[in-house]
Amino acid sequence: FPSHDIGIYANRPMRGSTLLSVHATGRALDAGYKESRQEWVTRYAEWLADNHVTLGIEEIHQYVWGTHGRGFRCNRSGKPGWLTWDAENNGGPGGYWLHIELTPHMADNPKDLVKAYKSVPPLGA
């Protein structure tokens, strides 16, 4: 993924909450990208969602998509899938980055994460 790291660990609450952010657990990352890569990033986000079980991904935020962005959730919201955000229900202010949250197992077992990435078909295959 041609990106730059704009944040993994940050001991802070979620925006607008007193609950800790997933970044405070070390299970979330923000991967920044150039505006010109938006089409590719959308395909990459969909690839991540399609492979979320194998890759141990619980949530994806794509802030630049449609008018207010979109989010993917695994089983925390019932049926896994994408939700198009609106003005009242969204991931907060964002920009040109993907927010990706891993399961506790994948975050704690980097060898399993590498093995999982090697086991799924590459993007575009």
Token pair for 54: 């194998």
Q: What is residue 26's three-state secondary structure?
A: coil
Nearest C-alpha neighbor of 94 from the set 47, 53, 41, 52: 41
The pLDDT, as a whole number, for residue 90 is: 86
- CA–CA distance, 95 with 46 (Å, rounded to integer): 18
pLDDT, tens only, 28-47: 998 889 888 899 999 999 99
**Burial of 78 per CB tally in 10 Å (0-12, 13-18, 19+):** exposed
Q: Residues 101-120: what's their mean pLDDT?
A: 94
Q: How far is CA 2 from the centre of its chain?
A: 15
Predicted structure pTM score = 0.86
